[in-house]
Homo-oligomer: A and B are copies of this chain.
Amino acid sequence: MTGLRTDLYEIRMAASYLRRGMTAPATFSLFARKLPRDRGFLVSAGLADCLRFLADLRFTPDELTYLADEVHLPDEDLAALEALRFTGDVWAVPEGRVVFADEPFLEVTAPLPQAQLVETALLNHVTFQSVVASKAARCRLAAPHAGLVDFAARRTHGLEAARAVARAAVIAGFGGTSYVAAAREFGVPAVGTMAHSYVEAFPDERAAFRAFAEDFPDATVFLVDTYDTLHGVRTAIEVAQDLPADRIGVRLDSGNLGELARATRRLLDDAGLSGARIVASGGLDEHALADLASAPIDVFGVGTRMGVSSDAPSMDSAYKLVEYDGNPVMKLSVGKLTAPGAKQVHRGAPGRPDLLSLRDEGTPADREPLLRPVMRGGVRLADPEPLSAAQRRCEQDLRWLPEQARALTGPTPLDVVWSAELTELTEALHRSIAARNDLAHA
């Protein structure tokens, strides 16, 4: 079921184009009009789901029946939609790369009805997943030496979102996820220990810890704050005396995590458990991680605030027609002017502004083009890659990123310079559209 996974207007427009034979190639560009507040960069994510959606696109008989009965599309439209597959080309920035406003995440070139129909799904996947990957990357930057794991599944926007969040977090440098379905699908470590309810289900904390150590001797992390954190640490130490120190740990989930971690570390070390790890969780985000930079915490479980990108749960993304039937197009809406033509982003050495140009301008010798062809004639040009490839790209790009774009508060994104050709085309087309539409103000 993919055909109806779109907004109604996409179907209406596609039907209208099909009736009129407006099936010439159209290029749409998907980009962020501006970065969310407190973001100095974005991490590209969501492409894999986009390509899967495009490859699977079709209207099932049930869906066509719905369009006949409820949207009142005539038989000629239904026949055309029934035959419709995605046969276009896609250029895209690989997942894990850092991008900025105005830089396309991807560009689709396909017969106009196809390129239009897929707008909703492509925008959705890229917007959501890039927003979360960007938030996760900020967490990664805030705690460069600690292990980070995704604990967000319980409060993401649905369980499909939990899957995508785990994936985006791993791209950004997280080492594992608590969400088992995602760990399995993406081949990353599943992580997790015990909840407060486990402790409460036993007569007392000591009994619970003993049972857990007995059942999971290979990965025994005791949740110590159910009743009183440091008391819980002492109980864990007693229970752990007979276990190998490198396989045990304690998890702190409430209170002043920095102070508690220091006191816990002392208690563990004094008990000869210097190999035991400290895991911290509970309401963490990049700012909390930065505040805890000096605390002796080995692993952070980062949950809700990363998984919903709490301070910027979306961004001002757009999927805009930039060329139809060989002609560049643009819109002039107040505050939403778009630049025409298929594009390329050229990246240079650290500190140099990115260069945004028309796609066919060519890349200067000392720069690298970010957009690559990933689908041609509706066929993927490569097998799906392992997540580790995107993770490596992200790690490299985060190192490349200028200090002021990495800043957790008040970051400044890298500048994006437009090529002379792109600027000239934009201005000339603005004048031409104004003339064609009798706009006095232009």
Q: Residues of A with Cβ closer than 8 Å to B?
A: 1, 4-13, 15-17, 19-20, 22, 26, 28, 63, 66, 70-72, 112, 116, 119-121, 123-125, 127-128, 132, 151, 153-162, 164-165, 178-181, 183-184, 190-201, 203-205, 211-212, 215-216, 218, 225-229, 231, 253-255, 304-305, 307-310, 313-314, 317, 319-321, 324, 329-336, 433-434, 436-439, 441
Contacts and interface: CB of A to CB of B under 8 A. Distances in A.
Stoichiometry, as copies per complex, reads 2
B198 A335 contact: no
**A6, A160, A197, A253, most chain B CB atoms within 10 A:** A197
Contact of A227 (B195, B310, B434): B434
A330 B201 CA distance: 10
Given A201-B17, A201-B112, A162 B124 contact: yes
A157 B154 contact: no
13 contacts: A5-B162, A7-B153, A8-B180, A8-B192, A12-B215, A71-B180, A116-B195, A123-B154, A157-B157, A160-B161, A226-B332, A228-B439, A231-B437
A313 B152 CA distance: 13
Contacts of A120: 153-154, 179
B179 A125 contact: no
B192 A7 contact: yes
A195 B155 contact: no
Nearest to A226: B331
A321 B4 contact: no
B16 A198 contact: yes
Contact of A70 (B184, B304, B319): B184
B13 A197 contact: yes
A200 B330 contact: yes
Nearest to A253: B333
B157 A158 contact: yes
Interface centre among A193, A199, A314, A329 (most CB of B within 10 A): A314
Given A196-B321, A200-B329, A231-B438, 20 more contacts: A4-B180, A6-B153, A6-B181, A7-B151, A7-B192, A8-B180, A10-B195, A11-B180, A13-B198, A26-B201, A63-B184, A71-B180, A119-B154, A155-B317, A157-B157, A159-B160, A196-B333, A200-B331, A231-B439, A255-B333
Contact of A155 (B124, B200, B310): B124
Nearest to A321: B197
B16 A211 contact: yes
Contacts of A216: 12, 16
Closest 5 CB pairs of A and B: A8-B192, A9-B192, A157-B157, A160-B160, A197-B321
Contacts of A308: 157, 308, 313-314
B128 A156 contact: yes
A196 B4 CA distance: 21
A153 to B, nearest CB: 5
A77 B121 CA distance: 40
B254 A436 contact: no
Contacts of A184: 4, 63, 66, 70
Contact of A121 (B159, B199, B205, B319): B159
